[in-house]
Amino acid sequence: MESVRVEGMMFDLPDDDVLYAALLARDPSYEGRAFVGVASTGIFCRLTCPAKKPLRRNCHFFGTVAEAAAEGFRPCKRCRPLGGAEPFVEALLAALQDDPARRWGEGDLVALGHDPSTVRRAFRRQFGVTFLDMARAARLRSGFGTLREGGRVIEAQLEAGFASGSGFRSAFARLLGRAPGAFTGREMLKADWIETPLGGMIAVVDARALHLLEFADRKALPSELKRLSGLVKGDLGIGRTLVTDRVEAELAAYFGGEEAAFTVPLALHGSDFTRAVWDELRRIPAGATRSYTQIAAAIGRPSAVRAVARANGANQIAIVIPCHRVIGEDGSLTGYGGGLWRKERLIALERGYAGRGGGGRGQASSCAPVPRIA
């Protein structure tokens, strides 16, 4: 069993076979530390759930209820894996899953008898994002799918559950820097949505390489996309290429505990120093961490610790360039654009790779040459 201490918390990460045996035995030692999602029912449970045990092939294991919920599993009504969470959390999650296109606002919460600030705090505490953020992400994901398939803007708007065309256009403009009607389908760079256990991500690719991969709720994402669009003179649209399919498959293998290596070609937009830092990040094995001081020493610039921190923060290809593996000198977590709760989960997940030479079937991170783009 592999474990890692993060800010005083101990995460235990046995493999899925051990967790399945614990599920069959209703082992209470994993209470609060492991949950099972059952593909055949769409429900997630505690390992001690009294319900009939599912087949091994239908089981997906998660370290937190947030991961299970992000994958679309609903909490079990028998074992109540949300524990002491307020009952309205379960009710709102069920409502969102039943109608992901619904446009939620604070008024809807009030109409249901909920205080919006209480709901906001409860969801942030349990999932790292607010309920309204979850609802907005679900709607935009639907709109992305419609536009990617060549649907009209009005069809995407309705599919995404936006009553107002201007509201839909504004939401996309905030995210991609352009209203959806401005896209021609002939743009060189294509942006699309990739769902992961830690939430939706936006991937921007061309026909040969990945340019950007960020969590959709990252506050800096609109400015990053605007900068990227400026570099290619606005040649950024919605869609996908084979590169999108490749990074989506590699992310699925990564989160599934199969493979920590990423081999998708990368297009790096940064200075020589910044790219040197990013290359060094990719040399950190999955299951290991480094400090800014160690990174600076490794690239031969031991006095450039602050510059290394800035370069780490400027990374626009999350997970594939593993900036989440950089921690403070004292072992504490440092800032992470995707949220510290995600950083905790990524570090915990990667402990499962530590005993396998750092990277499933291959190495922890691919260090293959990447296109150099100023």
Strand pairing category for 210-215 and 199-205: antiparallel
DSSP 73: P
Domains observed in the chain? 1-83 (3.40.10.10), 85-181 (1.10.10.60), 184-374 (1.10.10.10)
Q: Name the nearest CA neighbour of 33 among 7, 77, 67.
A: 67
Q: How far apart are CA 102 and CA 342, in angstroms?
A: 26
pLDDT per position as a tens digit, 303-334: 999 999 999 999 999 999 999 999 888 777 77
The answer to whether residue 20 scores a pLDDT higher than 60 is yes
Q: Which of 45, 49, 59, 79 is catalytic?
A: 45
The answer to whether residue 365 scores a pLDDT higher than 70 is no
The answer to whether residue 293 scores a pLDDT higher than 90 is yes
The answer to whether residue 37 scores a pLDDT higher than 80 is yes
3-state secondary structure 327-349: ECCCCCCCCCCCCHHHHHHHHHH
Q: How far apart are CA 177 and CA 200, in angstroms?
A: 18
113: CB partners within 8 A, 6+ apart:
none
Beta pairing partners, 189 = 236
Q: How far apart are CA 333 and CA 146, in angstroms?
A: 39
Spatial contact of 365 and 285, defined as CB atoms under 8 Å apart: yes
- Chain-centre distance for alpha carbon 166: 28
Backbone angles phi, psi at 219, to 5 degrees: -65, -30
DSSP 304: -
pLDDT per position as a tens digit, 228-277: 878 877 677 777 899 999 999 999 999 888 899 999 999 999 899 999 99
pLDDT per position as a tens digit, 149-181: 555 544 555 455 554 455 555 565 556 655 555
Helix (H, G, I), strand (E, B) or coil at 294: helix
Q: Which of 76, 79, 323, 367 is catalytic?
A: 323
Lowest mean pLDDT among 187-191, 210-214, 280-284: 187-191
Q: Is 45 a catalytic residue?
A: yes
Instruction: Give the residue ranges of DSSP H helices in 28-187.
Output: 65-70, 87-98, 106-111, 116-127, 131-148, 153-159, 165-176
Share the mean pLDDT of the chain.
Answer: 78
- The mean pLDDT of 327-353, rounded to a whole number, is 81
The answer to whether residue 6 scores a pLDDT higher than 50 is no
Backbone angles phi, psi at 313, to 5 degrees: -70, -20
C-beta neighbour count of 210 within 10 angstroms: 26
The answer to whether residue 189 scores a pLDDT higher than 80 is yes
Q: How far apart are CA 364 and CA 259, in angstroms?
A: 8
Structure-token match 């400026």, residue found: 230
Confidence of residue 224 (pLDDT cuts 50, 70, 90): confident
Helix (H, G, I), strand (E, B) or coil at 325: helix
Percent of the chain residues topping a pLDDT of 90: 26
Spatial contact of 31 and 46, defined as CB atoms under 8 Å apart: yes
Q: Name the nearest CA neighbour of 74 among 51, 97, 54.
A: 97
Q: Exposed, middle or buried, 332 (CB in 10 Å: 0-12/13-18/19+)?
A: exposed
**The two structure tokens encoding residue 209:** 């390489």
Q: Is 59 a catalytic residue?
A: no
- Chain-centre distance for alpha carbon 336: 12
The answer to whether residue 138 scores a pLDDT higher than 90 is no
Would you state the torsion angle of the CA atoms of residues 105, 107, 111, 112, taken in this order, to the nearest 10 degrees? Answer: 30
**The two structure tokens encoding residue 294:** 């160690």
